[in-house]
Amino acid sequence: MQYRTYNVPLALLGTYTTCRLVVRATDPVELGDSLAAEPNDEVVMLQLLDIEAELDALETSGYGIPIEVVLNDPQTEAGKLYRVMKLQRTHPVRIVIPVVAGFSKAIKVASSLNLPVKLEGTQPDATLIEELCDALDHYLHNKAVSQPIEYFSGLLMARLHRMPITLWDIQEEDPASVRYITDDGNEVIARRPFVPVTQSIDSFRFAHTKQVLSPGEECASCEFFPECAGYFKWPDRNFSCEGIKRVFRKLHDAANELQDDLSIYPITSMEPVR
């Protein structure tokens, strides 16, 4: 069986003792105290759910463990991103930004601070598509951007290098390898506990893929299915992907341009001196 990672609330940390863990909390003091009291080599990431919390406790706790700082309202919290800079002295830091109105402001601030970003959320409406395209242009063409912005970065590399990975992998939401445990102990898919799953989580990807590739379904004839794998057909299978295809197309065009640029330079090999 595959060795899964479980995203668990701090209160349930003691329940999961033999698996890889992402531990989330709103209070960094409680999180730091817990790590100090009971060190756990299985903790592979910490998630801080409140950017306004006092961060000093995490500077000296769990040295080297990556920390994700999750924004709730990216438009208003963008100006607070400078607060996490102190954590970079002792931890790799990534900012999780929900794709809601105004999210691109937080992307631009995070990029200016040299912070990696992960976008979170699916099935954007028409307004968000425009903002996604603007954010993608910022990622592709702003020379000041030096850190990954997922899922843009992962999709671009997958296309450029013909890598067999999908958005489920890039977004760390494939239930075969990652499970989210709600605050009340329920096991669900990703950080979206409000989405009901009518079948076993173990068989979710297989059943979902079978549904979206049925004859007449949008995915069945979509050129971007190899990378998307029906990611944007969850939770609403009737969601139209016409808008999000603009994002995929921009990424494909950018990958093709990069391939053309790289083809200009001949591949050389270093022969050993005899």
Pick out the chain residues at pLDDT < 70. Answer: 1-2, 192-199, 261-263, 265-274
Instruction: Report in angstroms the alpha-carbon separations of 170 from 41, 106, 167, 201.
Output: 24, 20, 5, 19
pLDDT the model gives residue 229: 96
Q: In what order do the strands lie in the sheet with 43-48?
A: 149-150, 117-120, 93-98, 67-70, 43-48, 20-25, 5-9, 178-181, 187-188
* Amino acid at the residue 71: L
Task: Say how far apart CA 230 and CA 235 lie, in whole Å.
Answer: 10
Place of tokens 């200016």: 112
Task: Say how far apart CA 32 and CA 94 lie, in whole Å.
Answer: 18
Does the reported pTM lie above 0.75? yes
**C-alpha dihedral, 240 to 243 to 246 to 249, nearest 10°:** -10
pLDDT the model gives residue 271: 55
Q: For 145-170, write each residue's pLDDT tens digit.
A: 999 999 999 999 999 888 899 999 99
